[in-house]
A = this chain, B = another copy of it.
């Protein structure tokens, strides 16, 4: 019948009680021993169910104090899809266009974001992502050549810098910042929109250990771009 794992049954049962309102924020959830008895399973199985619910943020566990329903998320997680996925997912033809790929010294703002004092030795890659005959995204990327010397040998005319970095350079953490801004003359030309059009800007800095690997500024015409959410 039910070949769903027991720990999953326990999770589902508790989640149902929380989502239905039978258990509300602060209420005590049955302990591991109790659940083990209720579901006729071992304590470890009950423990796993509670641990996973805690990982998902639905409950809070404290020694001695037991497990209680967590305050509902003050934050939400959303997913930023890869450009290519996003475009092809809409059934539109995807194309990447390389606009520039050169050695250059990043400006002050970028240098600071990358926290490098070593001026120079950076690769600046600029490109556009097309969705059919419209510009979907414009990228300006800086790659730290001291950290990623292999970037010199990559051919960014066939693969976007974004994709190449994802596939070839490990990173330990990535920071994002999303903001809105009005297109200046340069951005308007690059995106083929009217100056003053609202743009969505995503800034991304990735690190490996203590070292900044790359900085990317991505611009979207506001009307084109959206982000879909996730659980939690």
Residues of A within 8 A of B (CB): 18-21, 24-25, 71-82, 84-85, 166-167, 170-182, 196-201, 204, 208-209, 220, 222-223, 225-231
Contact = CB atoms under 8 A, between A and B. Distances in A.
A183 to B, nearest CB: 8
A19 B85 contact: no
Contacts of A82: 74-75
Q: Please state the number of chain copies in the assembly.
A: 2
A79 B81 contact: no
A-B pairs with the 10 shortest C-beta distances? A180-B222, A176-B229, A74-B82, A180-B180, A180-B200, A198-B198, A180-B198, A182-B198, A177-B226, A178-B227
Given A76-B174, A178-B225, 5 more contacts: A76-B176, A78-B178, A178-B226, A179-B200, A180-B222
Given A75-B79, A77-B79, A177-B226, A182 B170 contact: no
A170 B200 contact: no
Contacts of A170: 18-21, 24, 72
Nearest to A84: B74
A226 B200 CA distance: 11
A20 to B, nearest CB: 7
Contacts of A177: 226-229
Contacts of A208: 19
A210 to B, nearest CB: 12
Contacts of A198: 180-182, 198-199, 222
